[in-house]
Amino acid sequence: MAEQPRNGKVTVVGAGFYGSTTALRLAEYDVFETVVLTDIVEGKPEGLALDINQSRPIEGFETRVVGVGGGSYEGTEGSDVVVVTAGLPRKPGMSRMDLIETNAGIVRQVAENIAQTSPDAVVIVVSNPLDEMTALAQLATGFPKNRVMGQAGMLDTARFSNNVAEELGVPVSSVRTLTLGSHGDTMVPVPSRCTVDGKPLADVLAADRIEHLVDRTRNGGAEVVALLKTGSAYYAPSAAAARMARAVIEDSGAVMPVCAWVDGEYGISGVYLGVEAEIGREGVRRVVEGDLSESELAGLREAAEAVRAKQADVADL
């Protein structure tokens, strides 16, 4: 068999559970030439990179992982994609917004470094509060808005699909769901676009059960945090971020729910918001408008106004 071609470099900033798991997933895809894992802690990313590289003979991938500690960006230069996981995770009882001031300082510094070392990169932000940190990263890098996006909808949609599959006792592969809006209290699950084996969700689940699953999806991150007690989710979030990075490097044109700049779609302009978007080598190729019910569209516009006010604040953080 011909060897699979690999190309490009992806940097993951932050070597915590989220960042290291993302780096592992990206390496195991075996589509990148290099994965760089960087962190302010000396030795940690180097050790994790060595560990991942030693798994290559077992898992059968050739992508090389490089660790860079001490806050250095040496070795990240010219990255095609940068995934920003840096920042503090939530603790039980904390909302994502409780992290805004602390993580804003971290994300701004990271974004400025990215702009200097990888000026042509596509940036995928996963630091919380997600919508606000995505807006801040775009401001701090000065990159075109299509080259900065946030990971939220992929994760929230996956949680919604898993919740539906568990409720009905069906394979997750038979479930199609969608969430838009913000990564937080104004998340907008879209039941009208959800199906199970091709049948509308409303035909297989009672309205009160759908609403229960919507609420569980909206609070999915907090549910994990409350159970873990010492951190936040990283397996599902890292899977979402890695899929986005892969869509970029492969120029796939995959349509994914992401936090993207909205400029007229759904009658909304001038805000980063969770919408479906076509992803390729230049980041967001275009926002994809889908059919929404009146209540879902109203919820999306309400989410836009809620995050707009917060995003305006981050320019000063």
Residues in the chain: 317
- To the question of whether residue 96 is assigned a binding role by annotation, the answer is yes
C-alpha 283/C-alpha 271 separation (Å) is: 17
Cβ within 8 Å of residue 48, ≥6 positions away: 15, 20, 23, 37, 65, 67
C-alpha 153/C-alpha 312 separation (Å) is: 21
Query: How far does Cα 313 stand from its chain's mean position?
Result: 22
- To the question of whether residue 246 is assigned a binding role by annotation, the answer is no
- To the question of whether residue 103 is assigned a binding role by annotation, the answer is yes
- To the question of whether residue 16 is assigned a binding role by annotation, the answer is yes
Alpha helix (H) residue ranges in 30-93:
44-53, 56-59
- To the question of whether residue 163 is assigned a binding role by annotation, the answer is no
Cβ within 8 Å of residue 284, ≥6 positions away: 145, 146, 147, 149, 258, 260, 261, 277, 278
Confirm if 71 and 109 have CB atoms less than 8 A apart. no
- To the question of whether residue 127 is assigned a binding role by annotation, the answer is yes
- To the question of whether residue 8 is assigned a binding role by annotation, the answer is no
Strands 195-196 and 187-189: unpaired
* Backbone angles phi and psi of 50, in degrees to 5: -60, -45
SS3 at position 115: helix
Cβ within 8 Å of residue 125, ≥6 positions away: 84, 107, 133, 134, 137, 148, 149, 150, 151, 259
User: 125, 130, 71, 124: which is closest to 99 by C-alpha?
Assistant: 130
Residue 271: how many other CB atoms lie within 10 Å: 22
Give the residue numbers annotated as catalytic, written as ranges.
183
- To the question of whether residue 146 is assigned a binding role by annotation, the answer is no
- To the question of whether residue 15 is assigned a binding role by annotation, the answer is yes
- To the question of whether residue 18 is assigned a binding role by annotation, the answer is yes
- The amino acid that residue 236 corresponds to is A
111-to-81, 103, 152, 177 alpha-carbon distances in Å: 13, 12, 19, 32
- To the question of whether residue 159 is assigned a binding role by annotation, the answer is yes
Binding positions:
14-19, 39, 90, 96, 103, 126-128, 159
Binding positions for NAD(+):
14-19, 39, 103, 126-128
Binding positions for substrate:
90, 96, 128, 159
